[in-house]
């Protein structure tokens, strides 16, 4: 019996499932740059996961964003001194799409009421291919 185990041990070891080595985490996208958004141009800076930005309103660049990048989500707070309350400050939760050159997500005023969807694309970036649904495969009528 011992001889049989000695013979089978290498065979069993060779057929045992192997775990794949862990893939290295992909680096976060580089968001620094100018973004064309449905609320004007945003001038964004990134330092690691920390995000700061400013944007214009009626010729004044006194509007500010601050937040963090968590995975593919930007969690931001904003201040807009040119606007009356409750639009003078609030927050946004923006989802980055594909290669980090486009964002989209809701923004909320100071009371927490959703005011709309904020969309942006990094100036100079090529938008990714749109998401598509494909028709299911059909069984061929030919045997």
pLDDT at 125: 80
Distance of alpha carbon 15 from alpha carbon 41, whole angstroms? 58
In whole angstroms, give the CA distance from residue 96 to residue 57.
24
* Per-residue confidence (pLDDT) for residue 44, from 0 to 100: 96
- Cα separation, 132 vs 101, in Å, equals 18
Q: What is the pLDDT of residue 98?
A: 66
CA distance 50 to 76: 10
Calculate the CA dihedral of residues 84, 89, 91, 97 and round it to 10 degrees: 70
The pLDDT score that the predictor gives to residue 22 is 57
**Low-confidence spans in the chain with pLDDT less than 50:** 129-136
pLDDT at residue 58, rounded to an integer: 78
pTM over 0.75: no
In terms of Cα–Cα distance, which of 82, 92, 85 is closest to 38? Answer: 92
Q: What is the pLDDT of residue 117?
A: 97
CB 96 within 8 A of CB 72: yes
User: Which tokens is 68 given?
Assistant: 């963090």
Looking at residue 48, its pLDDT comes to: 94
pLDDT, one tens digit per residue, over 106-137 is: 999 999 999 999 999 999 887 554 444 444 45
């Amino acid at each position: 019996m011992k001889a049989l185990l000695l013979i089978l041990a290498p065979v069993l070891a060779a057929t045992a499932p192997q775990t794949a080595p862990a893939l290295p985490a992909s680096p976060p996208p580089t968001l620094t740059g100018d973004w064309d958004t449905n609320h004007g141009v945003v001038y964004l800076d990134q330092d690691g996961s920390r995000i700061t930005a400013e944007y214009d309103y009626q010729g004044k660049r006194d509007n500010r964003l601050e937040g963090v990048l968590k995975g593919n989500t930007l969690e931001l707070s904003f201040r807009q001194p040119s606007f009356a309350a409750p639009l003078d400050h609030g927050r946004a939760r923006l989802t980055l799409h594909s290669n980090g050159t486009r964002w989209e997500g809701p923004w909320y005023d100071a009371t927490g009421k959703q005011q709309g969807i904020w969309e942006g694309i990094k100036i100079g970036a090529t938008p990714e291919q749109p998401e598509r649904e494909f028709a299911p495969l059909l069984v061929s009528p030919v045997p």
